[in-house]
Structure 1
Amino acid sequence: MKVDTVIICAGGYGTRFLPFTKSISKELLPIGGVPAIQIVVEECIKAGFKKIIIVVPKNTNNIQAHFQRNEQLEEYLKIKNKDRELNILKSIPDYSKLIFVEEQDDLEYGNLAPILSAQEHLSSEYIAIAFSDDVIINGSGIKEIKDLFEENELDGIVASKRLDRAEIVNFGNIISSDEQILKKIIQKPKLDEIVSDFALISRLIIPTSILKNYHFYNKEPDLGSTISEHCEEKKFYVKELEGEWLNLDTPESYYRANETYYRIKGVIT
């Protein structure tokens, strides 16, 4: 089964990064000098998705502006013979090939809200999902699960990463069978509730049918809880992603993400 649509979730207010996020979306924070949202978009383009939907907060346009041409700046760079900088600008993915959707403000806040906001743009049986505050480097990321899904008879795939148990309390804990079939996701478990060393990572493929009966965590529409509730009727495969996972959830994790990036690139030791 082919998957040609991916939703990149870039909604929310990024309150942990205030005051920076008062006027600039968290997704524009750079990893190695490149905005996180651009890295995720490039990952999805390389994976071969025909339709890339980016869900953004309502009444903001700075993410959209990043992908639009700035002809005045381009002309300035040409005049100054700044070819390297001009090539950097030209390498930004084409705005016209992306679909931007505003997150609906009548939905309760939660990580499923961006996906529900994009439903009218969904026409296929399955969709891929990526969150823009998770960056994968030194790996193919979402292409890895897309290829696996299209080569096998599955209802969906969830990506995972092995983490220290002290870190898993901030994410979803994945419980799977010996055959890597998902049995349950425990959202943000307490330390004594953790069952495995694997956390849910925001690269997924799901059947759109489960969006008709979504579930909540802490009174918010929640993706992990929704998938978990459909495990008995749907076959979700668990795939441990290759490469390095960089998370931008907090200022501290953002600092570590850049530190890891520059260490991998050999800039620091």
Structure 2
Amino acid sequence: MVRPIKTAVFPVAGLGTRFLPATKAVPKEMLTVVDRPVIQIAVDEAREAGIEHFVFVTGRNKAAIEDHFDKQFELEATLERRGKTAELDLLAKGLPRAGQASFTRQQEPLGLGHAVWCARQIVGNEPFALLLPDMVMHASPGCLRQMMDVYETHGGGNVVAVEEVPWDQVSRYGVVGATDWQDNAFSITGMVEKPKRREDAPSNLIISGRYILQPEIFAEIERQEPGAGGEIQITDAMIRLMAQQPFHGLRYRGTTYDCGDKVGFLAANVALALDRPDIAPGFREALRKILSGHEEI
């Protein structure tokens, strides 16, 4: 029987240096795309996919994330007193239920693999999802829900979401090799973390920030030496695990916005705003005014 995925890990310990000075006192995961923090978008995606336990790997100065996923009695009492039921319902919708959120610390910035390893005691001996909040996946159904379908169809194993990029960009990412395509899913034949040369990349399919992993990954991370950038890379641990377990890829249906990058963050705001019927008409008009003053665009 396929073990269900009920736990998701969210690495949120990064310093957000690419967004200074905005992230000097505010966690980068709390920057908003329209009116939702980036971390809320990832949690909502996980909840849609059936996740029941949300594990946040935090660092220093990240208390705002924990506060965001808690009740705020003063605010709620004020909204209730003023009869703002829509706002109250919106706050309640975004909250995990009591006991569904766990927080642990990554004391040093040693890489994504190390951040995942920090969650090992909370996750336990169960398969789990891993979502990188910086990567906003604009899709319906959500990217993780699409991955769950692949996981169930193939009877378990490990699943990685991918997307195509231009060949001159593959050196910036983890890259996978693909075979045995079935619709948008395939078997992964190999992985390379940030290949230095184009000929070292097995394809132009990059790992895009969503994973379903078996718990054996923790042992592989623990014995992993620092890799690209001097960090403990999750890709290197997955390469070792591939010798023992199958890995499947999914070229998911949707668009990825890298909200750790200024251009990606702005693009995500535009895309999600245009998808909102409550603000899209006014936003389109505002965009026309902006673009009319920039004929060179």
Structures share a fold, TM > 0.5?
Answer: yes
Q: Is 2:117 the counterpart of 1:116?
A: yes
Of 37, 40, 44, 1:38 maps to: 40
The SS at the match of 2:161 is: strand
Structure 2: gaps of 5 or more residues: 288-297
1:200 is aligned to 2:201: no
Query: Does the alignment pair 1:262 with 2:273?
Result: yes
Whether the aligned pair in 2 keeps the contact of 1:169 and 1:190 (CA below 8 Å) is: yes
Partner-residue secondary structure (3-state), 2:162: strand
For residue 193 of structure 2, the aligned residue among 177, 182, 187 is 187
Q: Which residue of 1 aligns with 2:253?
A: 242
List runs of 5+ in structure 1 lacking aligned partners: none
1:217 to 215, 227, 236: 227
Aligned residues: 268
**Contact 1:165-1:191 at 8 Å conserved across structures:** no
Alignment of 1:119-138 (within 5 A): 119-138=120-139
TM-score norm. by structure 1 comes to 0.89
Q: CA deviation at 1:108?
A: 5.5
Alpha-carbon deviations, 1:203-223, whole Å to 9, x = none?
111121132122332321111
Distance 1:117 1:12 in 2: 14
From 15, 18, 26, the counterpart of 1:16: 18
Partner of 1:251: 262
Asked whether the equivalents of residues 162 and 199 of structure 1 are also in contact (C-alpha less than 8 Å), the reply is yes
Whether the aligned pair in 2 keeps the contact of 1:154 and 1:236 (CA below 8 Å) is no
Pick aligned residue for 1:228 from 229, 234, 239? 239
The CA distance in 1 between the partners of 2:275 and 2:197, in whole Å, is: 30
| 1:191 Cα deviation after fit | 6.0
Shift, 1:95, TM fit: 5.8
Larger displacement relative to structure 2 (171-180 or 187-196): 187-196
Tell me the secondary structure at the aligned position of residue 168 of structure 1: helix
Native 8 Å contact 1:173 1:187 kept in 2: yes
TM superposition score normalised by structure 2: 0.81
Q: How far apart are the structure 1 equivalents of 2:247 and 2:68?
A: 35
Q: Which residue of 2 aligns with 1:77?
A: 79
- Identity across the alignment (%): 22
